[in-house]
Chains A and B, each alone.
Chain A
Amino acid sequence: MSLPMILGLGQTALELALFNALTVLALFLSYSMLNVCDLSTDGCYALGAAVGAVVAISGHPWLSIPAAMGAGMLSGLVTAVLQTRMGVNSLLAGIIVNTGLYSVNIWIMGGSSLLNMNKTETVFTKLKAALKGTALSGQYALIIGLIAVAAVILFLSLFLRTRLGLAIRATGDNPDMVRSSSINPVFTTTVGLCISNAFTALSGCLLAQSQKSVTVDIGSGMVTVALASLLIGGVFLGRRSVPLRAVGAVLGAFVFRLVYTVALRFNLPAFMLKLISSVIVVIAISGPYLKKQFPLFRRRLAVKFGKAGMQ
Chain B
Amino acid sequence: MLKLNHVSKTFNPGTTDAKLALNDLTLHVRKGDFISIIGANGAGKSTLFNAICGSFFVDSGSVILDGVDVTMLPEFRRAKVIGRLFQDPMRGSAPGMSIEENLVLAAGQGGWMSTAGKKEKQRFRDRLALLDMGLEDRMKQPVGLLSGGQRQALTLMMATLSTPKLLLLDEHTAALDPGTAEKVLALTTRIVEENDLTCLMITHNMQSALDLGNRTIMMDQGRVVFDTTGEERGALTVQDLLERFREASGKKLDNDRMLLA
CB neighbours (8 Å) of A163 from chain B are 104-105, 108, 110-115
Interface string of A170-201 (1 = CB under 8 A from B): 10011011011111110000000000000000
Contact B104 A173 (CB under 8 A): no
Number of A-B residue pairs having CB atoms within 8 Å of each other in the complex: 68
Assembly CA distance A269 to B242 (angstroms): 79
Contact A181 B91 (CB under 8 A): no
The yes or no answer to A169 lying at the interface (CB within 8 A) is yes
**B32: shortest Cβ distance to chain A, in Å?**
23
Assembly CA distance A179 to B75 (angstroms): 8
The yes or no answer to A162 lying at the interface (CB within 8 A) is yes
CB neighbours (8 Å) of B108 from chain A are 163, 182
Interface string of B61-94 (1 = CB under 8 A from A): 0000000000000111101100010100011111
Given contacts A163-B112, A166-B105, A183-B105, contact A177 B94 (CB under 8 A): yes
The yes or no answer to A123 lying at the interface (CB within 8 A) is no
Assembly CA distance A238 to B104 (angstroms): 23
Contact B91 A184 (CB under 8 A): no
Contact A177 B91 (CB under 8 A): yes
**B118: shortest Cβ distance to chain A, in Å?**
14
Assembly CA distance A177 to B90 (angstroms): 9
The yes or no answer to A263 lying at the interface (CB within 8 A) is no
Contact B94 A182 (CB under 8 A): no
Contact A162 B75 (CB under 8 A): no
Contact B113 A164 (CB under 8 A): yes
Contact B93 A162 (CB under 8 A): no
Contact A183 B95 (CB under 8 A): no
**Please, which residue of chain A has its CB at the minimum distance from the CB of B55?**
A180
Contact A182 B80 (CB under 8 A): yes
The yes or no answer to A230 lying at the interface (CB within 8 A) is no
**B60: shortest Cβ distance to chain A, in Å?**
24
**A168: shortest Cβ distance to chain B, in Å?**
10
The yes or no answer to B101 lying at the interface (CB within 8 A) is yes
Name B99-146 residues within 8 Å CB distance of A. 101-102, 104-106, 108, 110-115
CB neighbours (8 Å) of B93 from chain A are 174, 177
**Please, which residue of chain B has its CB at the minimum distance from the CB of A171?**
B94
Given contacts A162-B114, A174-B91, contact A182 B97 (CB under 8 A): no
User: Which residue among B55, B76, B113 has the maximum number of chain A CB atoms within 10 Å of its CB?
Assistant: B76
Assembly CA distance A167 to B106 (angstroms): 10
Assembly CA distance A166 to B143 (angstroms): 14
Contact A181 B76 (CB under 8 A): yes
**Please, which residue of chain A has its CB at the minimum distance from the CB of B74?**
A184
Contact B75 A180 (CB under 8 A): yes
Contact A170 B94 (CB under 8 A): yes
**B111: shortest Cβ distance to chain A, in Å?**
7
Contact A169 B94 (CB under 8 A): yes
A-B contact pairs, 23 of them (CB 8 A): A162-B112, A162-B113, A163-B105, A163-B108, A163-B112, A163-B113, A163-B115, A164-B112, A166-B97, A166-B104, A166-B105, A169-B101, A173-B96, A173-B97, A174-B91, A177-B94, A179-B75, A180-B55, A180-B86, A181-B105, A182-B77, A184-B74, A184-B76
Beyond A164-B113, A180-B75, list 17 extra A-B contacts (CB 8 Å). Answer: A162-B114, A163-B113, A166-B104, A167-B112, A169-B96, A169-B97, A173-B95, A173-B97, A174-B91, A174-B93, A174-B94, A179-B55, A179-B76, A180-B91, A181-B106, A182-B77, A185-B76
10 shortest A-B CB distances, which residue pairs?
A164-B112, A173-B94, A182-B79, A173-B96, A182-B80, A174-B94, A184-B76, A170-B94, A166-B105, A176-B91
Chain A residues proximal to chain B, CB less than 8 Å: 161-164, 166-167, 169-170, 173-174, 176-177, 179-185
